[in-house]
């Protein structure tokens, strides 16, 4: 019984190394999602700048409500801040 237990306990460090090396690999989905996010934000940046200017001018000349302008700016903030927000929430959860 002791010899069997010693054999098992000798395999645990090898298993831990194997699992940690497998966890370090990224999936093709994660790579594609990161590439899509980068491309999407690159395309969206000039559109967001123009949208903020249009919201500001519309609210300044009283064509739209200031709450609509603030809501649009908050939506743009959430789109561009999503990676940092997700990292912050994951850090709070300990993941």
pLDDT tens profile 38-72: 999 999 999 999 999 999 999 999 999 999 999 99
Contact yes or no for 44/79 (Cβ under 8 A): yes
Establish if 66 belongs to a structural domain.
Answer: yes
Q: What percent of the chain has pLDDT over 90?
A: 56
Phi, psi of 48 (to 5 degrees): -65, -40
Q: What is the CA radius of gyration of the chain?
A: 25
pLDDT of res. 16: 54
pLDDT of res. 48: 94
pLDDT of res. 6: 53
Establish if 36 belongs to a structural domain.
Answer: yes
Establish if 81 belongs to a structural domain.
Answer: yes
Our count of domains for the chain comes to 1
List the domain range (segments joined by +) for residue 56.
27-93
Establish if 67 belongs to a structural domain.
Answer: yes
Contact yes or no for 72/55 (Cβ under 8 A): yes
Establish if 59 belongs to a structural domain.
Answer: yes
Establish if 11 belongs to a structural domain.
Answer: no
pLDDT of res. 22: 54
Q: What is the rounded average pLDDT for all residues in the chain?
A: 82
Contact yes or no for 35/29 (Cβ under 8 A): no
Establish if 48 belongs to a structural domain.
Answer: yes
């Amino acid at each position: 019984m002791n010899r069997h237990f010693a054999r098992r306990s000798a395999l645990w460090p090898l298993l831990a190394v194997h699992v940690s090396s497998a966890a370090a690999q990224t999936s093709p989905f994660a790579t594609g999602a990161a590439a899509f996010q980068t491309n999407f934000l690159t395309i969206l940046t000039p559109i967001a700048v123009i949208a903020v200017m249009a919201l500001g001018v519309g609210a300044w000349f009283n064509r739209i409500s200031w709450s609509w302008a603030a809501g649009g700016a908050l939506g743009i903030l959430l789109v561009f801040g999503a990676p940092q927000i997700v990292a912050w929430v994951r850090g709070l959860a300990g993941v």
